[in-house]
Amino acid sequence: MEVLCSTGALIGRPNGRNPRLLGDFVKQLTGDGLEMMMYSTWYDNVEEVTDYVRSLGLHIPVFHCQKTVGEEASKGDFALAESQVEINAKMAEALGATKMVFHLWNGQISDFFIDNNLKAYGTLRKISADHGVDLLVENVVCFNADPMLYWRKLADMYEEPHFIFDTKMAAFHGQLQEYYDGDASWAWKDGLVKHYHVNDYAGGIKDWTALKTLPIGAGHIDFEEFFRFVKGTGYDGTFTLESTAFGKDGVVDFDMLNRQVAYIREQMKQ
């Protein structure tokens, strides 16, 4: 079991999305490694960013594909989506990651053109696999339906799609219990969930004003139940803390992140 910290929790607009901050930041973290988040602003200097991060010698088992790639597939621009996945998968491979978190649908386009997203998945998965990277479809929030429905559609269309389960996204749709022991439990029972994102949620069902990534305890998710469930499934893989840890000044609250690392380790030990 490994507890990772998302680089998206450490660097963002307030501190310039500057990857060179990671060299100092990682020294203040007690987790087992990082989930590296790709930003759209890095496409023009992706080799420079990759070379610098690789020079740090960090443990990065999971990579987060740049979030809007799925939106290009939604628009029907499959060539652009494929070229961007190629760039992301190549970077993931160079950094030593074997899993890549992917928003198959995303943003304002959401699931309005979901047939395009489902159609694109097979090719995008193959591009990732060619770089030794497992493409994991996240249960990203939806406007029209819900993510578990689209997981099911993927499983019906393709052989063994792999997923990443996000606690906040599930709580947004009221699907935590459904995942534990309801109609969506097939996903973990079939061994298709390969990674977990851990962050809290303080809103109601489909409350679009409450999507900020919160630390454990800042919302209403029952994390004792969540970790008891996950441990009971026999899962012993990777977890990523996504809780935004910087404020408007860009200063990172490392103590908050490290407390969450300790909490997850304690929960998974029981």
State the SS3 of 176-228: HHHHHHCCCCHHHHCCCEEEEEECECCCCCCCHHHCCCECCCCCCCCHHHHHH
**Would you state the pLDDT for residue 78?**
98
Mean pLDDT of 235-259: 95
pLDDT band at 270 (very low <50, low <70, confident <90, very high): low
Letter string b/e over residues 249-264, b meaning 16 or more CB atoms within 10 A of that residue's CB: eeebebebbbebbebb
Topology of domain 2-269 in CATH is TIM Barrel (3.20.20)
Q: Would the pTM count as exceeding 0.75?
A: yes
Confidence check: pLDDT of 105 > 70: yes
- Cβ–Cβ < 8 Å for 136, 102: yes
Distances (CA, A) of 165 to 68, 89, 195: 18, 20, 7
**Would you state the pLDDT for residue 146?**
98
Mean pLDDT of 254-262: 97
Question: What is the overall mean pLDDT for the chain?
Answer: 97
Q: pLDDT above 70 covers what percent of the chain? A: 100
Domain spans of the chain, in order of start? 2-269
| Cα–Cα distance for residue pair 64/106, rounded to 1 Å | 14
**Would you state the pLDDT for residue 266?**
97
Confidence check: pLDDT of 218 > 70: yes
150-195 tens-digit pLDDT: 999 999 999 999 999 999 999 999 999 999 999 999 999 999 999 9
pLDDT band at 91 (very low <50, low <70, confident <90, very high): very high
E strand or H helix at 163: strand 162-166
